[in-house]
Amino acid sequence: MPEPTESRVAVYIDFDNIVISQYDRVHGRGSFMKDKARGATDKAVEKLDAATVDFGAALDFASSFGAIAISRAYADWSAPVNARYRQQLVDRAVELTQLFPAAGTKNGADIRLAIDVVEELTRLSDITHVVIVAGDSDYIPLAQTVRRLGRTVIGIGVTGSTSNAFRNAVDEFAYYADLVTEPEPVAPEAPPVDDATTLLQRALRVGRGEVDEWRNASSLKSQMKRLDPSFDEKTLGFKSFTDFIKSRDAVAELQEDGQNRRVRLRSS
């Protein structure tokens, strides 16, 4: 097997864990159970809307580590609270794994998820990074196992519901709230922002570990294609990626030094 030329990422989402944690963070600890929000009744809909999770933010962050090869969410998708998210996840090519409650409200997501991770890492040697979107202490043994298998483990959790021990068990950790970017306000007279500009902004915001937020232009283009494989500056009428960046100087700064080109978000 040839050596992979790019890092490859597997994303595993304990869906209930994140949705319930976010609801409780917004509305108070224990609110999800107290409000019987799983049924998404008329009484709970407004509160569910206020605590909606944007899983695209987690996937964008995961893509900053490399190309996403696996993305899977575990839940009982017949539950009304989860069914609300199906289109959001399908639109991002997330595989929906159906789980049924074995006892009470527990669906065994942690066990099924852990089995899938270990089986797939054993079978797929090109997976370099594993992203676990959860946060409770049940995932500590899994994180330790993944690290023993020589892969990098990233955790994503919700503030107030994430185990300190889980954070310490992974190589890198991010809180969901820190990944969500509110849309920039647009003045009424401003021209509409096209999809390519939005994609450029998303790619620059998920950049990781580069000095002063500057991104190498070639790695930035790779990030944009990971977020949207259909991106091609030539179909937009530009001879080069540099020309495309120059056309978006209202949102991005370009620094050129010979053949080296770096880009960062323009300060507002």
Say if residue 104's pLDDT is above 70. no
Do domains 8-179 and 195-265 share one topology? The answer is no
CATH class of 8-179: alpha beta
pLDDT digits (tens, 9 = 90+) for 10-36: 999 999 999 999 999 999 999 999 999
The pTM of the full predicted model, rounded to 2 decimals, is 0.79
| Distance, CA of 211 to CA of 257 (rounded, Å) | 16
The label of the residue with tokens 């959860």 reads: 134
Question: Where are the chain's structural domains?
Answer: 8-179, 195-265
CATH, domain 195-265, list 3.40.50.300, 3.30.420.610, 3.40.630.40, 1.10.540.10: 3.30.420.610
In degrees and rounded to multiples of 5, residue 131 shows phi and psi of: -105, 120
Predicted local distance difference test score (pLDDT) of residue 192: 59
Predicted local distance difference test score (pLDDT) of residue 208: 59
Which of the four pLDDT bands, split at 50, 70 and 90, describes residue 267? confident
Predicted local distance difference test score (pLDDT) of residue 193: 60
In degrees and rounded to multiples of 5, residue 262 shows phi and psi of: -130, 150
Nearest-5° angle of CA 175, CA 179, CA 180? 120
Cβ neighbours around 4 below 10 Å, total: 14
